[in-house]
Amino acid sequence: MSSIITFLGKGGTGRTTVAIAAARKLATRGTKVLLIGQDPSPAYSMALGVEVTSEPQEIAANLTVVQMQPTALLEQSWEEAKKLEQQYLRSPILKNVYGQELAILPGMDEALALNAIREYDRTKKYDAIIYDGTGDIRTLRMFGIPENLSWYIRRFQGVVQESEIVKALAPFVQPVTSAILNVSWTGENIAPEQTQQANQMLDQGKKALADPKRVISYLVTTSDPTAIATAKYLWGSAQQIGLTVGGVFLNQAQVTDDLTQQFSPLTITPLPRKESSSEEILIDALPNFQNVTDIPQPTTIDIAAKKIKVFLPGFTKQQVKLTQYGADITVEAGEQRRNITLPPQWSGRSVTGAKFNNSYLELTIG
């Protein structure tokens, strides 16, 4: 399996430059690298010095590049969806709809990109996959899809199963779908393997995201106050989806005591200005991406002490909101919400205490 690396930060801080340098550094050390670019414009090809397409191509020893093109990904995914429908449903209805007809809806490109990364990872051709995405909240929402989608499936599946209205209407569903859609849908029409495979896929995504040796991100900033504030905001937002942040790259500036304190306990690596003829200087300045140690975990659960600690750097006490519904605790910070399901040992218990201390939300379970 591959290690997946991405970079977060305000636009114009040099994320793409760092991503390309990181890919070259790993490749020169014998690591088989796939560099994925999300930018569909010609700028990405110009930055690499080669024409990058939607098909992976090796541009140097151990270094392969590919450019995400949502329309091409949609066509591929749609054909897969039709194959699955034909496999699991007795009366498929998507067979007469073609991927070339479909338009990209908001948010669809993130889901397509995540699935493409998953597929590249499954090939086992690469030791490292570097994803040069938008580097903002959209990238975080993309990596948070497995966790959020699995919660929606679990939560609404339970709601539907327990609904008296659904139980009452169940005998009428099959005749109505037959009359209107000309298909025969019943509870037995969908094979149980379909739901099981989907849940297994989501579980694999959640486990990968929780393991910094599998998925990790790095902040990229300059000395500009806006860039620093954005990096801190993205740091805290990354914790909300369970994505580990491994360090900070400070572009074209010197590390100060104030910056060290603001990003503590992360290590700040200063980067020199990249000149057209001195990429090696930038590559040499980058750390060893495969050495992941002493990084704060987004969430820790202490069963014996009945404590939950959620790491939320970049946020203040006033920006954090906590609610609980049954076994789910919802932590809201910034524009994101994270649902933490209580372990089975704490079934029926609730939060009896909460405090925000040194960027940690500490919860006590009664």
Domain ranges of the chain: 3-72+102-148+211-285, 149-202, 299-365
Q: Which pLDDT belongs to residue 312?
A: 92
Q: Which pLDDT belongs to residue 189?
A: 46
Q: Which CATH architecture has domain 3-72+102-148+211-285?
A: 3-Layer(aba) Sandwich (3.40)
The Cα–Cα gap between 25 and 286 comes to 8
Q: Determine the residue type at 333.
A: A
**Alpha helix stretches (DSSP H) within the chain:** 15-28, 43-48, 70-88, 108-122, 137-143, 145-162, 164-181, 192-210, 225-240, 257-262, 279-285
Residue with token string 């903002």:
136
CATH of domain 299-365: 2.60.40.790
Residues in the chain: 366
The Cα–Cα gap between 237 and 315 comes to 9
Q: Tens-of-pLDDT digits for all 366 residues of the chain?
A: 789 999 999 999 999 999 999 999 999 999 999 999 988 788 888 888 899 988 999 999 999 999 987 666 666 655 555 555 455 455 555 555 555 555 555 567 777 888 889 889 999 999 999 999 999 999 998 899 888 887 777 766 665 556 565 555 555 555 554 554 444 544 444 445 555 666 777 788 888 888 888 999 999 999 999 999 999 999 999 999 989 999 999 998 999 999 999 999 999 999 987 665 578 888 999 988 877 667 788 888 999 999 999 999 989 888 999 999 888 899 998 778 888 889 999 988 999 999 998 889 999 998
* β partners of residue 291: none
**Residue in 69, 65, 67, 74 with CA at minimum distance from that of residue 32:** 65
pLDDT in tens, 126-150: 999 999 999 999 999 889 988 888 7
pTM of this prediction? 0.82
DSSP string, 86-122: HHH-SS-S-TT--GGG--PPTTHHHHHHHHHHHHHHH
Q: Which pLDDT belongs to residue 271?
A: 93
Is the Cβ–Cβ distance between 38 and 134 less than 8 Å?
Answer: yes
The Cα–Cα gap between 100 and 72 comes to 9
Half-sphere exposure of 114 (CA within 13 A, CB side): 23
Q: Which pLDDT belongs to residue 337?
A: 85
Which positions ≥6 away from 151 have C-beta within 8 Å?
328, 339
Half-sphere exposure of 352 (CA within 13 A, CB side): 8
**Residue in 274, 285, 271, 268 with CA at minimum distance from that of residue 231:** 268
